[in-house]
Structure 1
């Protein structure tokens, strides 16, 4: 019988050891792997790096090995610049942060302590030096192949991937340890300069950000992008206490459907954020969004980052994306918004833009207190009121026509 081979004591010991290995309390990671549901539909390429791995999730992939030599070259340049022969200071610093850094990643990281520390030092020093070489002219080497525009474009793509991150406290520590005494550069400004021009109208005052709350560089970029929108929300209406969604709301119709009900669309002129959408007097005023080849990757990674935020935290980008998903259903909707100056279509094909927002809307979890609840409610109220008037008018015309035909 099968039971005769059962080693009861061994099972008890194994389970006890597994239980002992569990942490005493759950530690929420800040750097997640995108789940299969979000990756479904063949969209792995928008979450995976093209040329460089940062952190443990992608470091062993064959097509990324080429950049490992450049990481070492950048580390050597850093040591030469600082007249240091060894990286022992940085190794010791990372050893002191190792356990905290491991907890930032979801699941178990299958790397020894030595390999994990080497990865943090190598990737961290590469990143901070890349930001410096790009942003500080006095350090730039015109012959550096990494700083050629094509390679920089690929690096920008890879650095703004939600999976391709290092804990910010590791980067910030290494950055501060390698600053020149007379230097006033900071990691936040250099990061924003590095991605400027390629990331969804990115701009925000650095002084508004709190370093202790930054998870990683991608989290920094996310926070900078949503910050101007957060400032437009009345004080007390953000975060877990946000009362915006106390209003009941239903999905709004597409842009074409709303236009048929008399709702007008205009490009917003005065706004602080792309997400600052207003509906007043039957007019939806929406800031212009330019659609480029990389726009879908940016939206997907921003949305993926927000999907793993704690329950109750606002998901501003997800809310904004869902708003656009509702407005854009067909190429006709894109054409309407493009003609109004609301969509700048750099893809050259309205159908591609409509398909993009159709795809984006399928995997979105919006804020529990939806940022556009009041706007949706107002639009739907206006839509229903205009529809009722139109139906009443049609009924009167039909009744008059019927009366005339009866009198003949």
Structure 2
């Protein structure tokens, strides 16, 4: 009997030891790595959000970072091969800015400094991605450094190019009498020649750079910039200026770099674009009334819908759903609009009032109702974080009052049909005549004429 209890005690001790080891393995790495004090910033999009339109989260032209898998066409060729080759051209151009083609030793030394800098950042790079992603944990340091060097130089080249464009446009605006250069210089004008037969691909590249899974940490680009810049006094703010100029075509409203550049951290390009949006929580006092509800009238700023709007908004919402340190305003807006738009009649009313402007090709009113509902598919948000919570509460309170419900019933049941409305008006008129007749009859009875 004692031996039986002894065996049970040993078994329980083994279980306790095994579970304690398992708990320590799970809890020790708080975030992406043991040394990280911040949560990861680049995530795989959860499957419940992806379902319905997985292509909205996959790049079309260029692969950036380790999370995005390679895509192969039916013929077996890599969809991103052209731009993968172009990344090497970007490395060559950035090194060539230092005029070292005749000095290969100096070129190799500069390249070595870039790689050494990235090697020192490897723990931070890995910590920027969730540690449970096999695409991160299985890649060795050499391959990771090579990939982020190519991707970083590709992004750096795009940002410097558009920063130069923004600088020339600013100079032309401040001094109209001085003509800016008639076109881009040779380095900036020959992008289209690098991908023969796909001159239009650069528009898709811009979209691809704003996909959540298609990101690398922005500090990689900043590190490469500090080593590859030709002017040692040049600030990394030029990268922000270039990014906002690059993404200007995705927003009809002008983007301003002053408030964005002064912020300490830009995790990646999607985060930088996210910071550039004038969210109500960060706007000055008069603009806090961006969305008001007063006396049954709801004021909503205009939303312009383009062909790329769904993909862009999906990735911004996915960023809010995966990164905990965001206010969640895009998620709140999508949920608010989905509740507001329930039919094609609602869409037509919003278009008539100038709230929604449809610039999408071949999209009808019925499809726009689906547009808002698909954005919130698989999306969740705490009520206390919803910056539109006060507006929603006022709308619900107004809707539950008697007079608004009676007025809606009257309009829907009688004023929607002109014949019914005419009959109602005639009935009201006859009722008024009957009331007048009854009044004078009673008046003459109680006060007969003398």
**1:85 corresponds to:** 107
Give yes or no for the alignment of 1:48 onto 2:58.
Answer: yes
SS of equivalent to 2:264: helix
Unaligned regions of 5+ residues in structure 1, if any? 1-8, 235-270
Unaligned regions of 5+ residues in structure 2, if any? 1-13, 33-38, 72-77, 101-105, 165-183, 412-423, 435-450
Give yes or no for the alignment of 1:141 onto 2:188.
Answer: yes
Displacement, 1:141? 3.3
Report the more deviating stretch, 135-144 or 211-220: 135-144
Match 1:351 to one of 346, 366, 379: 366
**1:166 corresponds to:** 216
CA distance in 1, matches of 2:213, 2:409: 55
Match 1:290 to one of 271, 296, 304: 304
CA distance in 2, matches of 1:209, 1:328: 37
CA distance in 2, matches of 1:175, 1:153: 24
Deviation digits for residues 335-374 of structure 1 (CA, Å, limit 9, x no counterpart): 1110111111112511121111121133222354211111
SS of equivalent to 2:79: helix
SS of equivalent to 1:215: coil
Report the more deviating stretch, 68-77 or 217-226: 217-226
Aligned CA distance change for structure 1 residues 22 and 113 (closer, same or farther; 3 Å): farther
CA distance in 2, matches of 1:149, 1:332: 40
Displacement, 1:59? 5.4
SS of equivalent to 2:323: coil
CA distance in 2, matches of 1:115, 1:18: 31
Alignment coverage as a number of residue pairs: 350
Match 1:100 to one of 124, 131, 134: 124
Q: 8 Å contact 1:199–1:298 — kept in the other structure?
A: no
Q: 8 Å contact 1:200–1:295 — kept in the other structure?
A: no
Displacement, 1:304? 0.3
Deviation digits for residues 78-110 of structure 1 (CA, Å, limit 9, x no counterpart): 111123522111101100000110111122412
Deviation digits for residues 183-213 of structure 1 (CA, Å, limit 9, x no counterpart): 5661111001001021464624433555533
SS of equivalent to 1:154: helix
**1:337 corresponds to:** 350
CA distance in 2, matches of 1:393, 1:58: 55
Q: 8 Å contact 1:134–1:140 — kept in the other structure?
A: no
Deviation digits for residues 21-74 of structure 1 (CA, Å, limit 9, x no counterpart): 985433421100001111112x11110000111110125443122211100011
CA distance in 1, matches of 2:85, 2:54: 26
CA distance in 2, matches of 1:198, 1:392: 42
Displacement, 1:384? 2.2
**1:229-378 superposed matches below 5 A:** 229-232=280-283, 276-310=290-324, 313-347=326-360, 348-367=363-382, 368-378=384-394
Aligned CA distance change for structure 1 residues 211 and 98 (closer, same or farther; 3 Å): farther
Deviation digits for residues 111-149 of structure 1 (CA, Å, limit 9, x no counterpart): 110000111111101110122223424574322226986
Aligned CA distance change for structure 1 residues 113 and 337 (closer, same or farther; 3 Å): same
RMSD: 3.3
Q: 8 Å contact 1:282–1:382 — kept in the other structure?
A: yes
SS of equivalent to 2:128: coil
Match 1:222 to one of 274, 282, 304: 274
**1:26 corresponds to:** 31
Displacement, 1:281? 2.7
**2:244 corresponds to:** 192
Aligned CA distance change for structure 1 residues 129 and 18 (closer, same or farther; 3 Å): farther
